[in-house]
Amino acid sequence: MTEAEHRSLERLEVRQRQLRRGAVLVRENEGAGELYVLKRGMLMSYVLLDDGSRQILRFHFPGDMLAVSGLVYRRSPETVVALTDTVVCPFDRAEMTGIVTEHPRLAAIIMAVNQMERVALTDRLAALGRTSAKGRVAALLLEIRNRMRVLDKGIDGTFTLGLTQEEIGDATGLTAVHVNRMLRQLEDDGLLSREAGRVTFLNEGALARMANYTDRFSGIDLSWLPAAR
């Protein structure tokens, strides 16, 4: 990126807000208006259904933009909550106007990132619609580990999940009880081991196969991006 592009993005990060684990950043159905860049920590967004059940839609990692639906909807379609202590940088959606106008290439990059997020969502949709409980849990573990590894190259087969089994269930469309059983099965099958919240992959290939997991990080091609202004 050019100097000017960097300066423009940094303008989104002048303010900072700290959140404790469990703090709500945006609440479903409440007025949106502000967007955020995630600086440090991990969050999730979810919706609540009429019967009180919860579907976790996405996990957020540093570098992600949060509450982007505020660009379109007057009220947020989803709740965003901190899973760890986090630092976010709020900015007004009017800032977006400036970026798009002055830096077409940044606009294009944002569109590209949107597509990647969309594909990640469709992968999860296929998992919920067409794979077994065991496969879904495996897919979630792989996805989160891979997501963490993008930012921390040191992570390999062992990592700290940082989710309760109830949260895993709400992300995969399962019950906490059944998540527990699936984790035990994966362990009994010799595919992973667990201790004190840390997960170790023992047979990543087999996990990926049973999860129908597709790596989307390779195969990216951004050659169409416009030149920097």
Partner DNA sequence: CGCAGCTTTGAGATCGTTCAATCGTCGTGG
Partner DNA sequence: CCACGACGATTGAACGATCTCAAAGCTGCG
140-148 long-range contacts (CB < 8 A, ≥24 apart) are 140/168, 140/171, 140/172, 141/192, 141/199, 141/201, 141/207, 142/204, 142/207, 142/208, 142/211, 142/213, 143/213, 144/59, 145/199, 145/201, 146/215, 146/217, 147/59, 147/61, 148/61
Which CB sits closer to DNA, 149 or 181? 181
Q: Which residue among 134, 140, 148, 207 contacts DNA (CB under 7 A)? A: 134
Q: Does 11 bind a copy of itself (CB under 8 A)?
A: no
Q: Does 133 bind DNA (CB under 7 A)?
A: yes
- The answer to whether residues 29 and 85 touch, using CB atoms and an 8 Å cutoff, is no
**Strand partners of residue 89:** 37
Which CB sits closer to a copy of itself, 159 or 207? 207
Identity of the residue numbered 131 = T
Contact string 156-195 vs DNA (x = CB under 7 A): --------xxx------xxxxxx-xx-xx---------x-
Q: Does 203 bind a copy of itself (CB under 8 A)?
A: no
Residues that bind a copy of itself (CB under 8 A): 47, 49-50, 53-55, 57-58, 68-69, 71-75, 77-78, 93-94, 96-97, 100-101, 104-105, 107-108, 110-112, 114-119, 121-126, 128-131, 170, 172-173, 209, 212, 214, 216, 219-222, 224-226
